[in-house]
Each structure stands twice: as structure tokens, then as C-alpha cells.
Amino acid sequence: MRALETNQHKVHLTNILMDVYKNSFLSEVLGFKGGTAGMLFYDLPRFSVDLDFDFVKKDQDLIIKATQEINNIVESKYTVVDKSTKLNTLFWVLSYGKGFSRVKIEVSTREVPHNRYLLQNYYGTSIKLITISDMIAHKMVAILDRAITANKDIFDTHYFLKSKYAGDINYDIIKHRTGLEPKDFYIKLLGFLDKVNNKNILSGLGEVLTDSQKDWAKAKLLVELKELIKRQIDLLPKTLTH
């Protein structure tokens, strides 16, 4: 496998994204989320290689039709290396050339009753984009929620908590996904991060960072993130601390 060629990969990511939202059916039922959404629309300072969506509205018939529509889009332009229906997830792996990085598409079929979306123009295509306050909440929960910790979630959470958006987090999402009030969630998150081995912090993350970002992540990512979480606790309104 060749080293990730970011410009070429971005061309394919964004072509697929625009094809999805030019589809009159998919544009109504899918909301765009995840690292690539953060990179394209919220200035996330790392590269992202996958496309992630939620169902804005769904039932089994909608899921079946959406699966077929996505199949039609990707099979017309790419070699589909893998496709499957996992627990709560529709999944595709696409190849755009021998030896190149592959594009993954994941569509979550979980209930997302507290998600909010806005329409964002992307080179003439209207994208149904998850709001930043919802994205931050999901990113933080993902640190705890995955079977194997994804260091990209740690990096992204650090970025969002030091951004101007850190005061506008959708805590309804955190409560829905974890059952925890905000302060209790943050305390649990701090405890989890205390156990993360800093020696492995670039695992799954290094390929999407610059060399200077890698040096910074090894030296400061975990330390700074824990301090940002402590600040979030101190800034919580009294109504959210009990």
C-alpha cells in the first residue's frame, strides 16, 4: 500500500460526498458527520480518510432503499472491495486504484433523536451537515464508546474543546448515549484518559498528521486535553452539575 496521497484521496472523498447529496433520496435521509465533516466544514486540522453518515429519519424500508442507492453510486465508479451490514452500521470499502488508500463509507442506523443538522453549500451541492455542538458531543462519547480506543477521537476532542465552539455542546446527546450528567461524564472521561498509554498515541493517528503535529501529539496531546476537560467542568452551569 502506498503512502496516503491526501490530495488524490480528498478528490475521491468529496466526489462521493457530492454524489450522495445530489441524490434526491439520500439527501433527505442522511446526515453527514465524523472526521471528514470536521475537516471540510469545521477546520479540523488533520486529514480524514472516511465518510460517515447518520440516518436523519429511518425505517427498514428507508434503510433498504438507501443501501441500494449508495450501491448504485459507488459501483458505477469504484471497485467495491467489501460491503456489509454490521451491528447498527452499513459499511463499504472502495478502491480507486491498485496500491492506493481505500475509502470507507459508514452509515449508522442507530437512533439519533437529539442530532441537529444544517444545510451547508459545498461547491454547488447542499450538504446536510451535523451541527458543531452535536459533533463535539459525539466525538467525546466516542472516546469511551469504541471497543478499541481511536486516537483520532482524542485529537479531535482536543481541537474542539480549545475552539470557540467549546461553550456550545449538546449535552442531551451525551446523556442519551451514556446515561450520565455532564459533570459525571467528564469525570469518567478524565479517568479513562489517565489510563491511555501515551507511547501509543500516534497509533491510527500518525498517518493523518504532519511531522510537527506528531511531535506535539506525543509531547502534549493527553496532558492538554485533560486540562481542557477540567476547564469544561468548571465552566458548567450549575444546572448541569447535579
Write out pLDDT tens, residues 19-48. 999 999 999 999 999 999 999 999 999 999
Rounded alpha-carbon distances, angstroms, from residue 189 to 24, 37, 112, 232: 40, 24, 21, 12
Q: In this prediction, what percent of the chain has a pLDDT beyond 90?
A: 90
Q: What is the pTM of this model?
A: 0.94
Average pLDDT over residues 185-204: 96
Closest by CA position to 232, among listed 180, 136, 166, 139: 166
* Angle, helix 151-161 to helix 222-235, in steps of 10 degrees: 50
Structure confidence by residue, pLDDT tens digits, 98-117: 989 999 999 999 999 999 99
Arch. (CATH architecture) of 1-130 = Roll (3.10)
Query: Using CB atoms within 10 A of its CB, is residue 175 exposed (0-12), middle (13-18) or buried (19+)?
Result: middle
- Indicate if the pLDDT at residue 241 is higher than 80: no
Non-local (6+) Cβ contacts of 208 within 8 A are 4, 46, 47, 48, 49, 152
CB 224 within 8 A of CB 184: no
**Residue 86 binned pLDDT confidence (cut-offs 50, 70, 90):** confident
Cell (9 digits) for 153:
477521537
> How far is it, in rounded angstroms, from Cα 65 to Cα 27?
13
- Write out the residue limits of the CATH 3.10.450.620 domain(s) in the chain: 1-130
Say whether 42 sits in a helix, a strand or coil: coil
Q: What is the pLDDT of residues 130-171, one digit of tens each?
A: 999 999 999 999 999 998 889 999 999 999 999 999 999 999
7 within 8 A of 112, measured Cβ to Cβ: no
> Region 67-78: what's the mean pLDDT?
97
**Distance of alpha carbon 148 from alpha carbon 184, whole angstroms:** 22
**pLDDT band per the 50, 70, 90 thresholds, residue 74:** very high
Across the chain, which distance is largest between two alpha carbons, in Å? 56
CATH no., domain 132-242: 1.20.58
User: If pLDDT is split at 50, 70 and 90, which confidence band does 240 have?
Assistant: low
In our burial notation (b when 16+ CB lie closer than 10 A, e otherwise), range 115-127 reads: bebeebeeeeeeb
Predicted confidence (pLDDT) per residue in 208-233, tens digit: 999 999 999 999 999 999 999 999 99
pLDDT for res 117: 98
Could you tell me where in the chain the CATH 1.20.58 domains are found? Answer: 132-242
| Between residues 1 and 96, the one the model is more confident about | 96
For residue 242, the model assigns a pLDDT of: 55
